[in-house]
Amino acid sequence: MNIDEQFEHFLAGLGVEMERPEDRHYSSDSIPEISIFQASRDHYGVFYRLDIIDQKPELRIMVPVNKGDAKMDIYLVRLSERTPLNESFTRMSIYEGSGAYEQGRDATLQHLLYAAAEMMKQLFWAGDVQSQVFPPEIEVYPILVQTERSMGKKKSR
């Protein structure tokens, strides 16, 4: 049994059914250019993972819940294409500047990622997790959500 089959078997034991790649509404195969982990200052027990993947910011929100075996819901948040901030990450990544610019590129990308993540967090918390309705500037994908109605079989994206 390979590692993917082992992981799927482990999740099945927790009552989680893996979603197939063709069922996804997003790609998760790319390696992050930058990754940062944070604990929430405003929401008890919530953790964030900030990434730049394929030259775009991504935010994963891990929310503690009192149900299911994982006791955690996970959401992927991305800026919608209508948001001009996406273009900033792309343009900064492809620009070839002076030596001084290149030396500061990673730090600048981290600061830009922090700023974008703050916006995504605010928009996420302004939405409604239960009805999956969020402001149009973000796209939210439930990756692991433990609901009362799905306690028998859960989907993991």
Has this prediction a pTM greater than 0.85? no
> What does the pLDDT look like over 57-94, one tens digit per residue?
999 999 999 988 888 999 999 999 888 888 888 888 88
Rounded to whole angstroms, the Cα distance separating 12 from 20 reads: 14
Q: Which residue has the tokens 């973000």?
A: 138
Instruction: Please write down the HEC assignment for all residues of 93-156.
Output: HHCCCCHHHHHHHHHHHHHHHHHHHHHHHHHHHHCECCCCECCCCEEEEEEECCCHHHCCCEEE
Contact 46, 62 (CB under 8 A): yes
